[in-house]
Structure 1
Amino acid sequence: MDWLSKAVSLKMSIVDVTAFGRSEVGWIGADPPAEAKAPFQDRGLTIRQQQITAFQPMEPALLASLAAVVIVQQQDYPSRFQRIVRSCLKHLLDYECRVFVVPFGVAGLPQVYRCLEEARVFASNLPSDVLRNQFTWQRSLGDPMPLPPLPHVTILSPIANWSEAANFLVRHLPGEAVQESVSFSFAPECEFGENDAGVGQVLLKRAFRGYTAVHFSPMTEGRSGAAVYRAYPVFGAFHTMPRFVKLGDRSKIFQEFQNYQLNVEKYVPFNLGPRLNYDLCCLGSTRGVLVGDLIESCESLRLAARSGRAGPAISCLFDRTLQAWYRNIERRDTPLSQTLGPRFPKQFDRRRMQRARSIGSRCDRDRLFTLFEYCASSPVLFAKIHGDLHVDNVQVRGHEALVIDFYANQDGPLVWDIATLEASLLVDAFDNHELWSFDEWWRSIEQPYGGKPLDMLLGHGDPRDPHRWFHEAVRQIRHYAARVASADQYGAALALALLNKAAKDPNLKGPEDERRAAAYVLAERILNNNFAPQ
């Protein structure tokens, strides 16, 4: 309800101020001055008469009653402000309290900025140089956010305008208090990371306030840094529709939220992608939660491909699911190597490179980057792209392809989505638990990488080959690549996608680690075949 600063104005009357039971404004660091009381009281809020003690845990009942807290910096006790920020600021923001900071004067502002920077919280009323140089995490879609989404810290001027502060609070009231009575249960496989052990459960209680109970089970493995769960909420005595819940870094969650609003709802057919439940999404001080409708009765493209059923789904993916993005193409003269160059891996794991050399690699990272830069083909077709189109982000239901996880959604070369999907099929789609012989696997899959990918005539695969499904899927993917890219462009994009796979997850062991080493070798072949001087 308080996500986008542009759309955060709540149409509430003064009567609504007390509807959620959060009508108190508390002070930390000093008693409320006399001139501050009337502006808040005139708007239906209550001034808490006693200072809040910041150096001991706050009771849930206190947090449930607070609409806002004013933290006062005192000139005579500079270390006290730092202790207050460290002890309770994030806790207040996680419970959705509105937080105002009042510096003692202009001389106190550097400490305010420094303490908030140390806490890595979001703040408004920051000078542009402080926003640019210190609060580097305070960005959205790559741009600094002078007014970040709530909850954030509002820095008031030393001579505070309390009427403005009270108006801001009434316009941006927090939601209902966290309901400690909601009961959570977790499947044994659910593991909260260090960042989510306490904060995560507070945010989940905020998301599911009003529900009686919620059961969580983990979804497919992911390496994005965000935990994704299936949630089964109970409202009163009734089971409601299952949801997906994504818990992760606040900036990433907010960026994905924006992508859903700006690029998914208007472009991806409603039945071919998830829809967010906006009233359940929320942000905390450093973490955030997305909640949306759970896509059920699906399997990943990984599983569909292995059983030879990827064909209709791949057709649906590029002809229907993402078609609205791809209709809005723009031709740009910037070479593909310049556009995708920032994605080129900076380094590769030494152990994995030793394995790549044993397979046949002869070039180091710098040599491959030089070859990659030779891709000067233009124009390049740009549009909205998914940005991370791997086999687990494409879900298959019958003949339909549904797409999930829109954090990386952006403007980019169309060929990148297609190349990343082929690279993911090679590295991610094979079964890590089947009887594994690297030599047999290598003989089976290397044929499509013997020349320039789009210049090769790929057949339907040998029916005796257990990996025939891979050849069928690659042949179809390259059919779509030929529509949007030249042979050099697809060669460069596919090589880069394979190199990114080779650089990722260096601690893996077993078959997937072998495939990532092989991806390096195949990328090297592609770059040599496309760009090495003859």
Structure 2
Amino acid sequence: MAIREFSPEGRPRAKIAFVGEVPSKEDLDKFRDRSFQCEPSTPAKLGDPAYAAQLDAVIWTQDGNKINALPRQLGSFVPCLLDYDVRVYIRLAADKHQTDAPRKLVVNALLESKIPVANLRSDEWQTIPKSDRERERGFLLPCVYLFDTASSWVDIAALVCDRPASSSPKTALVFDEKVLLDRFGSDGHSERLILLKRAFWNCSELRLTLLDGGMSGAPVFKAYASAEAGLVQPGSTGPYPHLFFVKIGPRKKIIDEYDKYCGHIFEYVPFHLGPRLRRDRCNLGSTLGILVGDFVDGSESLIACARGGRCGHAIANLFDKTLGGWRKQDYIDEKRTLSAFFEDKWQVEGQSQLIELPTGRIPLVQKLGADTSIEALKEIFVDLGNTAPKVAPAHGDMHATNVLIRHGDAILIDFEKLEQHYPLTYDPASLEGGLLVEGFIEDLKKGKLALTELVQLIEPLYEESALKRGQTTFCRPGDPAEWFYNAVNQIRTLSWSAEQQPGQYALTLALCLVRKGCNPHVDLDANEPNMSRAIAFFFGQKLLRAMAKTTAATAGKHKHQSGDAGQ
């Protein structure tokens, strides 16, 4: 079992409030024997944030004579309690008519208010939209936990006391709220403040800086946290701050990424090649969550490393060492084809609608002589991708800014889109596409390269012949794209073994390029010229059409030879 600390100072918060029924003295002793204070309370008191910050848990008993009263109050009081890490336990009333009416009223009220709830029955769980489901049999606190009418106070005391709340929020924590307001706006602002004060409960000051890159909807901040007086001896300039990364986003997204860290990162990614979560600082609220980890300091982006001509060793390290624990477990999936794995990549994320080129990029793509029909490209991909792929765990979002380089080591960050079983060709293809759309941004912005000039420079890399297994494509030494050729050749050299059938990497790369060309994120217009993504789309569709033409010609040749043989 994990090491747990037993301190003579007791629990961080050791007060339990009882709303409705208060147990007998004998039953209260079950809590007091575990060093918890117990006191009766009211919904009005629970609405006071200062009071909530001192509570460990609330045990709320439904009144059998007024079964509608509790459900009506849940939406008003429970979210604030959860934001303060107060665990809410509900004792359901017994119905005089032996029906499930009391339970149904409570469950429906919780689900309608989108309050996280645990200990649901299977049929109740199925009513939750898949996008909101956390864990069916396990649960992450804080949440609302339902006790059936048959649950004894002995069982309740054991469960409640074994799951104490974290330390109270650091209400005096000093930081600039404007950084959060500028990024998120005012909606949900109070919950974000509490999450930060809970995460940095033992700190006096926090300095936040929003990091560039990332389009997942859960922004990442660099955080300098100064420990409060007494933890360390401050120097002449005050407490020396520790550097963290902080990610704040929707509760479900944070839970999913947390589970991926615990299930796939800690066990398989070497400790120095991935960010280390500080699990004691990761927290959940009623609708949001926060991840905190040690910041990867003293590193540079893969783009900076590649443009400096230093990426060969780093890319080898990325696939052989950082991802080695995943990629060396690959196997052939005979049940799903390559195109079946990537079916949702042709759709807008979370929707059934096909991706499409943003309006501003269409003229640029047409200027390059490319067709903009997504349906036609998808048909080609589905037809050519009808082969069994090699699969293994995959990062799932390996754009160039998610790979940091430090002393030649490749360090991966942002595991939100990690896939447990995914084609082995996806991560390297995604990385190559990321280098294309992100690596030439400054050249295009400053006019060092024009649209058609860049296309001509790198077009040899996207001829169908250049993507045959074992092929290496060179450019003239000193060309502005020489760094890109070096990086791409290294990625492809390490990727040929990921193919189960020839052409699978080229197909995956074409899909990644088309998707990057269709990315409609609002920040792209401000941060990137549309040209780089138009070029990505152009090469993606060019590859697909070239491969379709070759396949058709090969099939026709075989048919002709079969006809000759029969004469």
Per-residue CA deviations over 1:98-148 (Å, capped at 9, x if unaligned) read: 1012344420322322221122222112111221222534545xxx52322
Q: How many residues align?
A: 519
**Kept after mapping to 2: 8 A contact 1:31/1:50:** no
Q: What does residue 356 of structure 2 align with? A: 348
* Superposition deviation, residue 267 in structure 1: 2.0
- Residue 4 of structure 1 aligns with which residue? none
Distance across 1 between alignment mates of 2:365 and 2:502: 25
Task: Give 1:52's match in structure 2, choosing from 43, 47, 51.
Answer: 43
1:311-361 Cα deviation digits (max 9, x unpaired) = 221122122221222221212223211222222232214513454334322
On the 8 A contact 2:68/2:105 being kept in 1, the answer is no
Whether 2:388 is the aligned partner of 1:375: answer: no
3-state SS, counterpart of residue 341 of structure 2 = helix
Once the two structures are TM-superposed, the CA of residue 488 in structure 1 deviates from its matched residue by: 1.8
Aligned to 2:503: 488
Shift of 1:173: 0.9
Check the 8 A contact 2:461/2:473 in 1, yes or no: no
Partner amino acid for 2:446?
E
CA–CA distance in structure 2, aligned partners of residues 101 and 90 of structure 1: 14
Normalising by the residue count of structure 1, what TM-score does the alignment of the two structures yield? 0.89
Matched residue, 1:450: 463
Residue 255 of structure 1, CA deviation? 2.0
Question: 1:135–1:370: structure 2 CA closer, same or farther, 3 Å change rule?
Answer: closer
Structure of higher CA gyration radius: 2
Bigger mean CA deviation after superposition, 367-376 or 80-89: 80-89
* Cα separation, 2, equivalents of 1:40 and 1:319: 52
Q: Which residue of 2 aligns with 1:107?
A: 101
Q: 1:349/1:116 Cα in 2 relative to 1: closer, same or farther (>3 Å)?
A: farther
CA contact (8 A) 1:11 1:171 kept: no
1:275-326 CA distances to partner (integer Å, 9 max, x unpaired)? Answer: 1122111222221111111111111112222333222211221222212222
SS in 1 for 2:166: coil
Match of 1:152 in 2: 143
Is 1:65–2:54 an aligned residue pair?
A: yes
In the aligned structure 2, how far is the partner of 1:189 from the partner of 1:102? 38
Task: Let me know the Cα RMSD of the aligned residues.
Answer: 2.8
Does 2:452 match 1:434? Answer: no
1:473 aligns with 2:463: no
Other structure's SS at 1:234 match: strand
The answer as to 2:517 corresponding to 1:502 is yes
Q: Counterpart of 2:197?
A: 205
Aligned mate of 2:340, from 338, 341, 344: 338
Worse-superposed segment, 487-496 or 153-162: 153-162
- Indicate the percent of aligned positions where both proteins have the same amino acid: 28
Q: Report which stretch shifted further, 345-354 or 283-292.
A: 345-354
Number of the residue aligned with 2:279: 278
State whether residues 314 and 408 of structure 2, in contact with CA within 8 Å, keep that contact through their aligned partners in structure 1: yes
CA deviations on 1:191-227 (whole Å, 9 max, x unpaired) are: 3414552111211111111222222222223211112
Q: Tell me by how many angstroms 1:382 deviates.
A: 1.5
Q: CA deviation at 1:423?
A: 0.8
Displacement of 1:395 after TM fit? 0.4
For structure 2, list consecutive stretches of 5 or more residues without a partner in the other structure. 348-353, 554-567
Note the alpha carbon deviations across 1:210-254, whole angstroms, 9 max, x for none.
Answer: 222222222223211112111112122332431111111222222
Tell me what 2:396 maps to: 387
Q: Distance in 1 between matches of 2:159 and 2:355?
A: 48
Change over 3 Å in CA distance of 1:386–1:506 after alignment to 2: closer
Pick one of 82, 85, 92 that aligns with 1:93: 82
Task: Determine whether 1:226 maps to 2:185.
Answer: no
Structure 1, 241-250 or 427-436: larger mean CA deviation: 427-436
Q: What is the match of residue 561 of structure 2?
A: none
* CA shift for structure 1 position 490: 0.8
Say if 2:215 and 2:521, in contact at 8 Å, map to a contact too: no
| Alignment partner of 1:40 out of 31, 36, 42 | 31
List alignment gaps of at least 5 residues for structure 1: 1-6
Q: Could you say what secondary structure the match of 1:133 adopts? A: coil
Distance 1:138 1:431 in 2: 37
Secondary structure in structure 1 of the residue aligned to 2:321: helix
TM-score normalised by the chain length of structure 2: 0.84
- 2: CA distance, partners of 1:9 / 1:53: 39
CA contact (8 A) 2:466 2:472 kept: no
Which residue identity does 1:526 align to in structure 2?
L
Q: Deviations over 1:384-405 (max 9, x none)?
A: 2211111011001232211111
